[in-house]
Amino acid sequence: MKSLEMNSRNTIPAQQYFENKAILAIVATIGVIFGFGGIAHGIFEVLQGNTATNGLVIDAIGEHQRMWVHGYEPAFTIIPNFLITGIAAITVGIAIIIWSVGFMHTKHASTIFLSLFILLFLVGGGIAQILFFMIGWGMSTRLHKPLDWWRKRVPEGFRSSIAKLWSPSLVVGSFLILFTLQIAIFGYVPGIPDPDKASMAMVIMPGAGLLLLILAFVFGCAYDSGKGGASNAQ
């Protein structure tokens, strides 16, 4: 009897621990994209070799590796050496991808997610990612939170109609951000040979991608609220 009672006590918390599936997919995708971005920064930093950074703010892509006039990719690092900075950025970027894919469902996932991205920023993983990973972290704090507000305040018919849009918004938003990473490195924009205009595209496209990721989160909340996501009532 005592063992049965102990087992029931151990299983009840697990049964009451819910996750919002769409939000999980969105946050994991953000983690993978910007973990990959950190790896890309790290590779170019490694290519600059065992040389001093000569400051905290660096160009991740050095003069000899640069493929277009605006392709220098600014970064911040507390490590005064390009080679070690690059190795650290690659390592942390890989850790972020692994964590995002395999461990975002765990209880303290959002805290570790944020910590890894702060570390990536400190070791040359890029400056432009800050806004994205802060928003991604904010989304991750809702992974195990109740969605009762959506159930109570938003009509079910409306929730059902917008819930279908979370995955297309995620796919298109992710594509825009990944394409922006490609522009940052190679400067290639179809039909735009002018590097200054390509640079403008490098500003507009991630803005549109970020908007779509935020919409994906909103639509994902609607999806999870209708598919048995986290609820106080359960």
The pLDDT score that the predictor gives to residue 128 is: 86
Residue at 33 is within a domain: yes
Three-state SS annotation for the chain: CHHHHHHHHHHHHHHCCCCCHHHHHHHHHHHHHHHHHHHHHHHHHHHCCCCECCCCEEECCCCCCCCCCCCCCEEEECCCEHHHHHHHHHHHHHHHHHHHHHCCCCCCHHHHHHHHHHHHHHECCCCCCHHHHHHHHHHHCCCCCCCHHHHHHCCHHHHHHHHCCHHHHHHHHHHHHHHHHHHHHHCCCCCCCCHHHHHHHHHHHHHHHHHHHHHHHHHHHHHHHHCCCCCCCC
Cβ atoms of residues 219 and 169 within 8 Å: yes
Residue 100 has pLDDT above 90, yes or no: yes
The pLDDT score that the predictor gives to residue 108 is: 87
Residue at 6 is within a domain: no
Measure Cα distances from 153 to 45, 148, 158, 233 in Å: 50, 8, 11, 15
What is the band of 33 on the pLDDT scale with cuts at 50, 70, 90? Answer: very high
For the chain, how many structural domains are there in total? 1
Q: What is the mean pLDDT of residues 119-147?
A: 92
What is the band of 79 on the pLDDT scale with cuts at 50, 70, 90? Answer: very high
Residue 234 has pLDDT above 60, yes or no: no
Q: What is the mean pLDDT of residues 26-44?
A: 96
Residue at 93 is within a domain: yes
Residue 145 has pLDDT above 90, yes or no: no
Residue at 128 is within a domain: yes
Q: Whole domain around residue 129: which residue ranges?
A: 19-226
Residue at 26 is within a domain: yes
Residue at 47 is within a domain: yes
Rounded to whole angstroms, how far apart are CA atoms 74 and 59? 5
Residue 81 has pLDDT above 70, yes or no: yes
Residue at 12 is within a domain: no
Residue at 233 is within a domain: no
Phi then psi dihedrals of residue 58, to 5 deg: -130, 165
Phi then psi dihedrals of residue 123, to 5 deg: -120, 35
Token pair recorded at residue 169: 């918004």
What is the band of 14 on the pLDDT scale with cuts at 50, 70, 90? Answer: very low
Q: What is the mean pLDDT of residues 204-212?
A: 95
